[in-house]
Amino acid sequence: MATENSEQQGQKVEIEIIGSRFDKVTTILEAFKPGDKRFIHSYETMGIAPRGYDQVKHNEIEVKVPARLHNNVLDMNRFNLNRPGGGGIGVSIAIYFYAKVKAIDAPEIRTSGERPLIVTHFAHIFKELLGYPGGFEIELYDHKRRHVGLGSSIGTMCAACIGMNEVLGRPFHGWELRRIMGYHSCEETPENDGFLLPAFETGIGAMVGVNGGWVVASDDLVLVHRVELPNTKAIIFIPEVKSIEDEFCGKETSAESEVELLLRRARSMDAMQSGTKAQIVLFDMLPAMIRGDLVKIGDALFDLCYLGSKRAECEQHGDFGTPIYQYINAFRKIGVEITGMSSVGPTVFALTQKEDVYDRVLSYLKSMNIAESRIIETEVDNLGGTITEDGVERSFTNDNWLKG
């Protein structure tokens, strides 16, 4: 791995990708400033028809977007920093991002609240793509749980994009916004030095952020199927694992370690087992979703937890994944219908429709001396993102604007 530094362009890291013994190439992880046009992709690259903005609403738009649990990536050989995809499984949870967006005549981007670098970059993206001469005022707040598998970065992008799209007269459909987010996914550098880093994106965060519920996606940011999980409670907690200590002690950047994980061992594991994973999704997961069978959905996800890239993600937390798998296995024994680890972790979750199981999970965590500050009690969000305009809140469910 080679590293270069430049005050103007930020850090550049070359990382060797290993998908198998015969699949070894190099990708570039380069830091950039918000608005850097080298990191704004064309319509042609994203597969979207060019267009301009339709109208400008000068009233303030409020956006609420649920967070996501990213339960599995189907094949990490299908994505890279400049190519979103890979497919996956995810669910929307009632932990929210909030944004207030307003179009202004001055060609300025004024941000307040949290995640200003990400918000500013996406404002530049909208201005560049649409030829919009004006500016934006954007106030945004995330859920404050960052780099633990709860999608703080993609949720920020989703809330900002929905708001800007709304004040400009909805020039983009929902699936087009998903592609814009996918190709421009990014997060702040761990050094918090005013730079951003490109990030991997499967589209799951945008799918559940807008649509809510439980989703299965295929490659190229395509939503395959979505179902609601009615009356489903969620217990989410963040285990104490060594990987968190390393990240916040500065032993290595979270970005570098995550990139190396995803482009090396996880890719190699998916090269061997993505076919088995796809078969489980097609023959077990999707039929269970159509039947509304929470137990069978959970059975399929449990099998996926021990295969391919998800196994590599769990193992990165030490002791061959024991700190993660001990909780997943315990939840299964307690009777939890769906359990797993979100994204690269270490967040572990339990989804259940049974009150007694819910209570037993909380009792178990208490017996393990898990601090209350590490436990989140919430539920599955089946509504998805909402827009509030002139005091009226509406969702996108069954809205023609989604279109896939």
User: Which residues, in sequence order, are bridge partners of residue 214?
Assistant: 91, 227
What fold does the segment set 2-395 form as a domain? Ribosomal Protein S5; domain 2 (3.30.230)
**Tens digits of per-residue pLDDT, 142-181?**
988 877 788 999 999 999 999 999 999 999 999 999 999 9
Q: How many CA atoms lie within 13 A of 328 on its CB side?
A: 26
**Tens digits of per-residue pLDDT, 179-229?**
999 999 999 998 878 999 999 899 999 999 999 999 999 999 999 999 999
Range of lowest pLDDT (191-205, 212-226, 261-275, 365-379): 261-275
Residue with the larger pLDDT of the pair 30 and 81: 30
pLDDT for the residue 86: 95
- Percent of the chain past pLDDT 90, that is, above it, reads 73
- Going by their DSSP bridges, the two strands 109-113 and 135-141 should be labelled as parallel
Six-digit token pair at 54?
């339709």
Residue with the larger pLDDT of the pair 12 and 22: 12
Six-digit token pair at 134?
């004006």
- DSSP3 helix / strand / coil % (the chain, rounded to 5): 40, 25, 35
Instruction: Give buried/exposed letters for 307-328 (b at 16+ CB in 10 A, else e).
Output: bbbbbbbbbbbeeebebbbebb
Average pLDDT rounded to a whole number, residues 269-287:
96
Amino acid, single-letter form, for residue 374 = R
pTM of the model: 0.90
CA distance 240 to 396: 37
Q: Domain segments of the chain: what residues?
A: 2-395
CA distance 376 to 343: 17
Helix 294-305 / helix 308-315 crossing angle, nearest 10 deg:
70
Is the pLDDT assigned to residue 254 strictly greater than 50? no
Helix 152-167 / helix 116-130 crossing angle, nearest 10 deg:
40
**pLDDT tier at 18, thresholds 50, 70, 90:** low
**Tens digits of per-residue pLDDT, 86-106?**
999 999 999 999 999 999 999
CA distance 225 to 204: 12
